Amino acid sequence: MKNNKPKINKGARTYLKSAIKAASHPIRNKILKILKAGPQSTPSLEKETGENRYNLYHHLDVLVNSDLVKESNDSKKIYSLNTPKNPNTAVFIFNEDDFMKDFSTWNMMLDGLEKIEGDKIPIRGKIIQAEICLTYR
């Protein structure tokens, strides 16, 4: 039987692992969702997340080092999502709040995954987080 799984080099696996780990943390996930709406300053992110500056900088450093977020080089630091023109990977992380916002779309996505996988997803109602990673050629 031929293995049809895409081959990912070791460097890509490492990047992927760090991006998923970075984005999976609840505070960093919240920061990413805030930045999805547009670039933000540190004080704005402090206010939106409720995190103190020390913790916020730690989480922002992790996101910048994993290449998910970029910071401006101006005197006033502005953070935004890093959206490369030719990405290697894209990571989508959904949590309970996302499921509740649009439950019917979430169920359609799970239906699609079941169709691809050929098996039922157990206990749909107890899913609290989903991570989907897309890898590009």
Q: How many domains does the chain have?
A: 1
Kindly tell me if the per-residue pLDDT of 1 is higher than 60.
no
Residue 53 pLDDT class (50, 70, 90 cuts): very high
For residue 124, what are the domain limits? 10-135
Residue 34 pLDDT class (50, 70, 90 cuts): very high
- Is residue 27 in some structural domain? yes
- Kindly tell me the burial class for residue 98, based on how many C-beta atoms sit within 10 Å of its own C-beta (0-12, 13-18, 19 or more): middle
**What's the CATH code of the domain at 48?**
1.10.10.10
Kindly tell me if the per-residue pLDDT of 14 is higher than 70.
no
Residues present in the chain in total:
137
Residue 45 pLDDT class (50, 70, 90 cuts): very high
pLDDT of residue 15: 52
- Is residue 44 in some structural domain? yes
Residue entry with tokens 């309970």: 96
What pTM, to 2 d.p., does this model score? 0.69
- Is residue 56 in some structural domain? yes
- Is residue 105 in some structural domain? yes
